C-alpha cells in the first residue's frame, strides 16, 4: 500500500513533491492523489495541501483578496488574544488533525492556553476556533466538508467568511458536541461577534472591503 502511494505522488529529480502542470486543467478542487499519512506529514512545499482517508488533497491557491482578508482577520484576532494572554493564533499552513487519517489547514485558528500542550511541531490535535475564507473554486469544501469535520473534531466555533455572499457566518458547537447549531449570519453593516471569545468581533463591511492600496 505504501509503495503504491509513493508512486502516485509527483516528485522532481531530487525526490521533492512537485506540481504537475497537467493539474491546471482540473476544474474541480480538491484534486486528490493517493498518499500515505506518513508521506503527507513529511511533505515540504508551499502548495495548500490537506489529507483525508489515504488521499492528498491539493487546494486552489488563494487570491490577493483572500489573503488581504486573512491578514486583516489575523491582525484583529491575534491582537485580541495576545493582549489578553488567551492562547495562540496561527494562519494557514499549520495542520490540524480533525480525525484519524484526516488533516485540515484552516485559514486561521485559535488554540486556547488550556490546550497548548497539544501543539506539535507540524500539527495540533485541539483547536478552539477556526476561520475559513470561502474560495470561489472550492465552496463546498469550506461550507459543508470542513463544517462537518470541524464539528466532529470538537472545534467549538467556526467562522465562514463568504466574499461572494458578503456574509460572515459564526457556527457554535451544539450540546452534543458533534454538530453545529444554526449559524449566526452577519451581513454588511453588522459586526460579526464571537460567542467563544466575548468582546471579539469585526465589522463585516471592513473585513470584506480589504483591497490593495
Strand order of the sheet with strand 95-99? Answer: 31-34, 55-58, 49-52, 102-104, 95-99, 123-124
- Mean pLDDT across the chain: 87
pLDDT in tens, 115-139: 999 999 999 999 999 999 998 878 9
| pLDDT tens digits for range 33-43 | 888 888 888 88
Residue 4 clears pLDDT 80, i.e. is over it? no
Residue 56's pLDDT band (cuts 50, 70, 90): confident
The pTM of this model reads 0.76
Which residue in 137, 143, 210 sits closest to 180, CA to CA? 143
- Asked if 9 and 33 count as a contact pair (C-beta separation under 8 A), the reply is yes
Q: Tell whether the model's pLDDT for residue 24 goes beyond 70.
A: no
Please identify which residue in the block is written with the cell numbers 484519524.
100
Residue 14: which pLDDT band, with cuts at 50, 70 and 90? low
The DSSP bridge partners found for residue 110 are 89, 129
Question: Distances from the Cα of 175 to the Cαs of 28, 131, 151, 169, 181, in angstroms?
Answer: 35, 21, 11, 19, 9
Cell numbers linked to 184: 449566526
Q: Distances in Å between the alpha carbon of 209 and those of 7, 65, 66?
A: 44, 9, 11
Cell of 62: 488563494
Q: What is the pLDDT of residue 17?
A: 53
Query: What distance in Å separates the CA atoms of residue 95 and residue 23, rounded to the nearest whole number?
Result: 23
Q: What pLDDT digit, counting tens, does each position of 72-87 carry?
A: 999 999 999 999 999 9
What domains lie within the chain, and their CATH numbers? 2-58 (no CATH), 64-208 (3.90.1570.10)
**CA-CA-CA-CA torsion sign (28, 136, 155, 48):** positive
Please determine, for residue 151, whether its predicted confidence score (pLDDT) is greater than 90: yes
Amino acid at each position: 500500500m505504501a509503495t503504491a502511494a509513493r508512486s502516485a505522488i509527483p516528485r522532481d529529480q531530487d525526490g521533492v513533491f512537485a506540481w504537475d502542470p497537467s493539474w491546471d486543467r482540473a476544474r474541480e478542487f480538491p484534486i486528490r492523489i493517493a498518499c500515505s499519512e506518513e508521506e503527507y506529514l513529511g511533505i515540504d512545499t508551499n502548495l495548500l495541501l490537506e489529507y483525508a482517508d489515504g488521499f492528498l488533497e491539493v487546494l486552489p491557491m488563494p487570491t490577493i483578496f483572500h489573503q488581504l482578508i486573512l491578514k486583516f482577520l489575523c491582525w484583529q484576532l491575534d491582537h485580541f488574544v495576545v493582549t489578553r494572554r488567551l492562547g495562540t493564533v496561527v494562519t494557514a499552513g499549520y495542520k490540524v488533525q480533525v480525525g484519524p487519517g484526516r488533516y485540515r489547514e484552516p485559514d486561521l485558528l485559535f488554540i486556547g492556553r488550556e490546550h497548548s500542550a497539544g501543539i506539535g511541531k507540524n500539527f495540533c490535535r485541539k483547536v478552539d476556533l477556526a476561520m475559513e475564507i470561502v474560495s470561489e473554486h472550492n465552496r463546498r469544501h469550506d461550507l459543508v466538508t470542513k463544517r462537518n469535520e470541524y464539528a466532529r473534531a470538537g472545534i467549538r466555533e467556526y467562522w465562514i467568511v463568504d466574499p461572494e455572499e458578503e456574509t460572515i457566518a459564526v457556527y457554535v458547537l451544539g450540546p452534543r458536541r458533534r454538530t453545529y447549531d444554526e449559524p449566526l449570519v452577519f451581513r454588511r453593516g453588522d459586526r460579526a461577534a464571537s460567542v467563544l471569545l466575548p468582546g471579539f468581533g469585526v465589522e463585516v463591511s471592513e473585513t470584506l472591503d480589504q483591497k490593495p492600496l
